[in-house]
Structure 1
Amino acid sequence: MGDAALDACAEVLLRWGVQTGAGLGVRACAPRVEPGVVAELLIGVGPVGWRAPLRVVEVFDEPGRRGFAYGTLPGHPEDGEESFVLTEEPDGRVRFTVTAASRAARLGGPVTRGVQAWMAGRYLRACRQAAR
């Protein structure tokens, strides 16, 4: 795959494409992920859903590594940080890693962890779809 694949996947990732590809709505103060950008992830439909406000705290743009991390803001179902990182492996494949360090802010711990695991799977599928 090489740099071209990493760059193509990163372009999708850094324009909220993994979140929208996973079925989330995104309302952001900027179309591209940058440090300080404030956004809301919209989970659910209409009155049956949650707002998940966040702020981008870091963007990774290094040779062989791209991605970003956000911190949750008040009103988010979790309290913590989540990162989305693409790395180029020695064989040219691109690895996508989602890491969450959080605790439940509004929902019970087991429910929050279940939703987190479910969303990580959706993020991975969206990333794979974007890579095609």
Structure 2
Amino acid sequence: MSELTYAEVGATAEKRLPSGYHHVRESLVIGHGRGTFERAATELLEGQAQRRAGTDVQLSDVPLRKGSRVVMRLRIGPLRFRIPCLVVWAERTSTSCGFAYGTLPGHPERGEERFEVRLTETGAVVFSIVAFSAPGRWFTRIGGPIARRVQTRMTRRYLEALRRGEPRLA
């Protein structure tokens, strides 16, 4: 994992995220019941949250697992971004499923993002995203506030993407 562009590998699993980064912690109830959980878990590990959020996604493995490579391409107006990541954690149990990927050279940011779907004791299916990031390229350093807005927008789109399996883009 020496290719990763940050040192704090796995830190999205911690209660306290590393200092010196922008932090994201967002969750959304996307449905209820075992069927919803199973569908959302499968879709999550197939890259559907990213696809439905508007990125072109290439996965080295389906389902995603530790060591999988993810390359997203995002277009914002006339700009096109290549977003390479490496999965640093992936797990599927009877009540939780998720993965975390870290940034590789060429990614606009440096850091890690964790996506997790949980089936709670009450039957709610909760999709959570935890991330820490800092500018990784000259254009994200210069365009800091714009990069944060794009990240906020993408986080919302990811969360909505697994709700009842249909895209609900803002």
Q: TM > 0.5 between the two? A: yes
Residue in structure 1 matched with residue 155 of structure 2 by the alignment: 120
- The structure-2 alpha-carbon separation of the partners of 1:35 and 1:46, relative to structure 1 and needing over 3 Å to count, comes to farther
Q: Could you tell which deviates more after superposition, 108-117 or 13-22?
A: 108-117
Task: Report the Cα offset of residue 127 of structure 1.
Answer: 1.2
Q: Map of 1:106-117 to 2, 5 A cutoff?
A: 106=137, 107-108=140-141, 109-117=144-152
Aligned mates of 2:145, 2:164 — CA distance in 1? 29
Residues 1:90 and 2:121 are matched in the alignment: yes
Larger radius of gyration: 2
Q: Map of 1:30-69 to 2, 5 A cutoff?
A: 30-44=61-75, 48-69=79-100
Task: Report the Cα offset of residue 50 of structure 1.
Answer: 0.2
Task: Report the Cα offset of residue 64 of structure 1.
Answer: 1.3
Where does the alignment leave 5 or more consecutive residues of structure 2 unmatched?
A: 1-31
Q: TM-score, normalising length from structure 1?
A: 0.90
| C-alpha RMSD over aligned residues | 2.0
What is the identity percentage for the equivalent residue pairs of Structure 1 and Structure 2?
Answer: 36
Q: Which structure is higher in RCO with an 8 Å CA cutoff and minimum separation 6?
A: 2
Residues 1:24 and 2:55 are matched in the alignment: yes
- Structure 1 stretches of 4+ with a deviation exceeding 6 A read none
Task: Report the Cα offset of residue 131 of structure 1.
Answer: 6.8
Q: TM-score, normalising length from structure 2?
A: 0.71
* Count of residues in Structure 1 that have an aligned counterpart in Structure 2: 132
CA contact (8 A) 1:55 1:73 kept: yes
Aligned mates of 2:164, 2:107 — CA distance in 1? 27
